[in-house]
Structure 1
Amino acid sequence: MPGTPVPEVTPAPAGPRPAPPQLFDAVEAARSAAVDEAADELGAVGAAAAVGTHLGTDVEDDGAVTHSFVADIPGYRGWRWAVTIASAGEGESVTVSETVLLPGDTALVAPDWVPWDQRIRPDDLKPGDLLPVSPDDPRLVPGYLDSGDPAVDDLAREAGLGRERVLSPLGRSDAAERWTDGEHGPSADLARSAPASCGTCGFLVPLAGALHGSFGACANASSPADGQVVAVGFGCGAHSSVAETSGAPVYVSALVYDDGVDLEPVGPGS
């Protein structure tokens, strides 16, 4: 109908173009590149044997393909040669972009790198060892400094202040999470079978400060947690409410005396 606007049609996005076929056919060109790379370390004789079976190809984009070969090198079990080759289009020449050794799922590789300041474990510290603390450790913040007023300073020390550095909120949170999830936390096997929790035990010495309501030190010499920080939700069989029971632990029947003598008359000839 005259005057009726024609709706604009947006063409569908074109899908990725397939890589040129010569990239998939260039297996020997890729193998040759891997051999050249291996020759730098193994020499010409050993390099040819170091590049094994062709494992397949991976398409990088519409102009590049990576060929993979087994790496037959002593000590490199599970590794593969990855040779990326490229071409500007069908009928164009093939060039080598990159040749590398890559580990597979079964390859022996070095463990992930751990920063030096994170490698020390608690049980690594021996008598005489020193473990410096970083000045910007996020677990610590500047503490209270003496004011010069004895009354104020005495009260501050009673509250646990007077130190150059104290725990930051992050430091307290980290410690609380670590202790809660540890062997003296509420989810420990010992706690789940306990008659009551440490929060109601007379042997609990509460911690001072912000963690006062959540943790304390066990002062029961009979408990496996004696001298350790425990969560108030932890517990064990040595709770102060456990009372002694009287009586024999095994039922004992009444005593029967059989040392009496009964006489029965016997007739003649019996």
Structure 2
Amino acid sequence: MDLARRAAEETAHPTPVGEHLGMQAEGDRVLTHYFACLDPAYKGWRWAVTVVRAARAKVVTVNECVLVPGEGALMPPPWVPWIERLRPGDLGPGDLLPTPADDPRLAPGYTETSDEAERQVQWELGLGRVRVLSAEGRAQAAARWYEGTAGPRTPIAASAPAQCSTCGFYVPLSGELRQMFGVCANEYAPDDGRVVSADHGCGAHSEAVVVPPASEAPPPIVDEMGYDLMPVSALTEETDEQAGDEAAGEGAAERR
């Protein structure tokens, strides 16, 4: 035990080593001693020092000294490969996302001869492509789109006047997906250029608004109780002109 403690203290230096927590036999003449780890960064961990005595030897030596997690130890999360950590939107310019050869979302365009493959080729000829969407790939895409923001359960679809399937801007997809999905081609719609479900909808439906027919302009309203403000100079000139006209009229009457 003293040999194991000295080895743990040498490895943990300058952090001290805690109390002895027990021991465990690993085999013939092989024993592991456990000591509490007092490093605050490794709470719940413990030092494991394995000592061994070789056959026909009289001296015990240290085999290894490592930190191992104990009960309540702070552990890192399980390792997840990067391909499984990737999320939509993480792929940037220059990034490559290799597709596994056995990806269940894809199927060979011409090599399979099963009935499912024949139906698949009927919808997706796959000209110029090695692989096309498999039935599983189509099902995953349909479920993802239908439950997303372009499906029928969004607030904008609930308040829409009609469904996308009756809109003139709705362009159906090809293949089996055309039964449920299409692309919005209305530049004023929030889903312009995106895949939407047939029962989705928004306020930019082609038949949402009926423009009322043009009517005749209302007759002008004459306000006889109103008045207009005129500048004093204009009033003076108008008064002089009226006075001149009246004087000319009176002179003509006297001549008669």
The alpha carbon displacement at 1:158 in A equals 9.2
Aligned equivalents of 1:74, 1:237: Cα separation in 2: 59
Aligned equivalents of 1:114, 1:208: Cα separation in 2: 36
Code of the residue aligned with 1:75 in structure 2: it is: A
Matches within 5 A, 1:4-153: 39=9, 41-43=11-13, 46-48=16-18, 72-77=38-43, 79=44, 100-102=68-70, 104=72, 109-144=75-110
Secondary structure of 1:205's partner? strand
Aligned equivalents of 2:180, 2:40: Cα separation in 1: 57
User: For residues 258 and 72 of structure 1, do their structure 2 counterparts lie closer, same or farther at Cα, with a shift above 3 Å needed?
Assistant: farther
The alpha carbon displacement at 1:157 in A equals 9.7
Checking the alignment, whether the CA contact within 8 Å between 1:36 and 1:47 is kept in structure 2 is no
Percent of matched pairs sharing the same residue: 44
Secondary structure of 2:69's partner? strand
Code of the residue aligned with 1:187 in structure 2: it is: R
How does the TM-score come out when normalised to structure 2? 0.56
Aligned equivalents of 1:108, 1:259: Cα separation in 2: 90
The alpha carbon displacement at 1:103 in A equals 6.3
Aligned equivalents of 2:132, 2:153: Cα separation in 1: 29
The alpha carbon displacement at 1:100 in A equals 4.5
Q: Deviations over 1:67-98 (max 9, x none)?
A: xx986422235x36599xxxxxxxxxxxxxxx
Out of 172, 175, 180, which is 1:206 matched to?
172
How does the TM-score come out when normalised to structure 1? 0.53
In the alignment of these two chains, the number of paired residues is 179
Tell me, which stretches of 5 or more residues in structure 2 are unaligned?
22-34, 49-66, 112-120, 214-219, 227-256
Aligned equivalents of 2:139, 2:6: Cα separation in 1: 56
The alpha carbon displacement at 1:110 in A equals 2.5
Matches within 5 A, 1:172-251: 172-246=138-212
Aligned equivalents of 2:96, 2:148: Cα separation in 1: 25
Tell me, which stretches of 5 or more residues in structure 1 are unaligned?
1-28, 55-68, 84-98, 146-155, 248-254, 262-270
User: For residues 44 and 224 of structure 1, do their structure 2 counterparts lie closer, same or farther at Cα, with a shift above 3 Å needed?
Assistant: closer
User: For residues 185 and 72 of structure 1, do their structure 2 counterparts lie closer, same or farther at Cα, with a shift above 3 Å needed?
Assistant: farther
Aligned equivalents of 1:232, 1:258: Cα separation in 2: 57
Aligned equivalents of 1:220, 1:178: Cα separation in 2: 23
Secondary structure of 1:124's partner? coil
Aligned equivalents of 2:200, 2:71: Cα separation in 1: 46
Secondary structure of 1:191's partner? helix
The alpha carbon displacement at 1:202 in A equals 1.6
Higher helix share: 2
Code of the residue aligned with 2:142 in structure 1: it is: A
Alignment root-mean-square deviation, CA: 4.0
Residue 161 (structure 1) aligns with? 126
Residue 225 (structure 2) aligns with? 260
Residue 16 (structure 1) aligns with? none
Code of the residue aligned with 2:147 in structure 1: it is: D
Residue 235 (structure 2) aligns with? none
User: For residues 45 and 137 of structure 1, do their structure 2 counterparts lie closer, same or farther at Cα, with a shift above 3 Å needed?
Assistant: closer
The alpha carbon displacement at 1:184 in A equals 1.0
The alpha carbon displacement at 1:173 in A equals 1.0
The alpha carbon displacement at 1:260 in A equals 2.4
Checking the alignment, whether the CA contact within 8 Å between 1:160 and 1:208 is kept in structure 2 is no
